[in-house]
Amino acid sequence: MLRRTRLDISGRWRSFSSCASSDSLLAYGARILRCPDPHEKVSLTSECQTRWLSENLPIYSESQWGAHIPPPLPARGPKPELLPPKKMPGMKQLQNQASIPVIMLHALAHIELGAIDNYWDTIVRFDPIKHQLPREFYDDFLKVAGDEARHFAMVDDRLRELGSHYGALPATRALLEHAANTAADLAARIAKSAKVVEQIVFEERDHVRCGIKWFQHLANVQRREDHVTYFQELVLQFFPDGLPGPFDVEARLAANMGTEWYQALESKVAHSYPSQPGVHLKKDKVYHHSQHSASVAAFAASKKKVILAGSVWPERTSSAAGVRSADIISVLQERGFQVLCVSPSRLNGHTTRLEEEQGLVVFDRFIAEEMYGWQAKKYAPEALRVLDLQDVHFIRRAREFAVKKQGVNFEDTLDGAQLNIDPVEKLAIRELASIHRSDLTLYVSEFERDLLVSRFQIPDVRLHRCDFFYPEIETSKLRPFQDRKDIAFIGSFKHAPNVDAVEWTKKTILPLFRRIGGDAEIHIYGSYGETKRFTKLEDPAQGFFMKGFAPDTHEMLSQYRLSIAPLRFGAGIKGKIADSWFVGTPCVSTSIGAEGMMSDSVPWGGAIANDPQDFATEMQRLYSDKPKWSAAQDAGGNTCLTSYNRSSNADSLMERVERLMQEKHALRQENWMGRILWSEKFRATEYMSKYIRGKSEGVGKIEK
- For β-strands 13-17 and 3-7, DSSP reports them as antiparallel
DSSP 171-208: EEGGGGT-----HHHHHHHHGGGHHHHHHHHHHHHHHH
Q: Does the pLDDT of residue 194 top 50, yes or no?
A: no
Q: Does the pLDDT of residue 698 top 70, yes or no?
A: no
Size (the chain), residues? 704
Same structural domain, 563 and 695:
no
Q: Does the pLDDT of residue 418 top 50, yes or no?
A: yes
Average pLDDT over residues 323-350: 71
Q: Does the pLDDT of residue 682 top 80, yes or no?
A: no
Per-residue model confidence (pLDDT) at position 20? 44
pLDDT class of 163 with cuts at 50, 70, 90: very high
| 298 inside domain | no
- Window from 43-52, 56-65, 87-96 with minimum mean pLDDT: 56-65
Domain containing 69 — which CATH number?
A: 1.20.1260
Per-residue model confidence (pLDDT) at position 627? 97
Q: How many other C-beta atoms can be found within 10 angstroms of the C-beta atom of residue 334? A: 11
Tell me which DSSP letter residue 689 carries.
Answer: H
Question: Do the beta carbons of residue 89 and residue 170 sit within 8 Å?
Answer: yes
| 257 inside domain | no
pLDDT class of 328 with cuts at 50, 70, 90: confident
Per-residue model confidence (pLDDT) at position 175? 60
SS3 363: strand
| 75 inside domain | yes
| 417 inside domain | no
How confident is the model over 518-569, as pLDDT tens digits? Answer: 999 999 999 887 777 888 899 999 999 999 988 889 999 999 999 999 999 9
pLDDT class of 373 with cuts at 50, 70, 90: confident
State how many domains the chain has: 3
| 167 inside domain | yes
How confident is the model over 208-218, as pLDDT tens digits? Answer: 677 778 778 87
- Candidate ranges 284-288, 378-382, 408-412, 691-695; pick with highest mean pLDDT: 408-412
Which residue would you say has higher pLDDT here, 529 or 402?
402
| 368 inside domain | no
The predicted model scores a pTM of 0.57
Q: How many other C-beta atoms can be found within 10 angstroms of the C-beta atom of residue 401? A: 18
Sheet strands (E) in 202-250: none
pLDDT class of 107 with cuts at 50, 70, 90: confident
Per-residue model confidence (pLDDT) at position 389? 93
| 45 inside domain | yes
- Window from 233-237, 275-279, 381-385, 630-634 with minimum mean pLDDT: 275-279
Domain endpoint, select from 593, 625, 643: 643
How confident is the model over 120-137, as pLDDT tens digits? Answer: 888 888 778 877 888 898
Domain endpoint, select from 195, 223, 251: 223
Per-residue model confidence (pLDDT) at position 142? 92
Domain endpoint, select from 193, 223, 253: 223
Question: Do the beta carbons of residue 165 and residue 6 sit within 8 Å?
Answer: no
Query: Distance (Å, rounded) from C-alpha 694 to C-alpha 683?
Result: 17
| 232 inside domain | no
| Domain extent at residue 555 | 477-643
Question: Do the beta carbons of residue 101 and residue 193 sit within 8 Å?
Answer: yes
Which residue(s) pair with 16 in the sheet? 4
Per-residue model confidence (pLDDT) at position 697? 53
- The rounded mean pLDDT for the chain is 80
Domain containing 584 — which CATH number?
A: 3.40.50.2000
Per-residue model confidence (pLDDT) at position 115? 87
Which residue would you say has higher pLDDT here, 40 or 275?
40
Same structural domain, 174 and 215:
yes
